[in-house]
Structure 1
Amino acid sequence: MIILGLILFLIGLLASIGILQTIGIVLMVVGLVLALLGGTGRAIGGRKHWF
């Protein structure tokens, strides 16, 4: 999710499309939050691991 967000952000930045930049930033933040919570061993949505 972090990589997809980064790709969308870069495409939006290069093509000057604001909505892609916004979606990219949101996906990166959500991906980072899930990675941090998963790294602490906390179950997210009833699952211990996200694959």
Structure 2
Amino acid sequence: MLYYSIVFFVIAVIAGIFGFGGIAAGAAGIAKILFIIFVILFIASIILRERRF
């Protein structure tokens, strides 16, 4: 999931450089959502792993 977040971020940067504001904003929004989901799942996996041991 972090991979897809980085891919959408790169797409947003490239679209921003070429002047496609709408596409850049959309890709940045998707990247932000995927990154937040990644962080939540990462923290949840750390907490659940610590509870097992």
TM-score, normalised by the number of residues in structure 2 = 0.67
RMSD in angstroms over aligned alpha carbons?
1.4
Query: Within the alignment, does 1:18 sit opposite 2:29 as a pair?
Result: no
- 1:48 corresponds to which residue? none
* Structure with greater contact order relative to length (CA < 8 Å, sep ≥ 6): 2
The runs of 5 or more residues in structure 2 that have no matched partner are 17-23
Deviating 4+ runs (over 2 angstroms): none
Q: C-alpha displacement at 1:11, in angstroms?
A: 1.1
Larger helix fraction of residues: 2
- 1:4 corresponds to which residue? 4
The runs of 5 or more residues in structure 1 that have no matched partner are 43-51
Q: Which has the larger radius of gyration?
A: 2
Identity of aligned residues (%): 19
Count of residue correspondences: 42
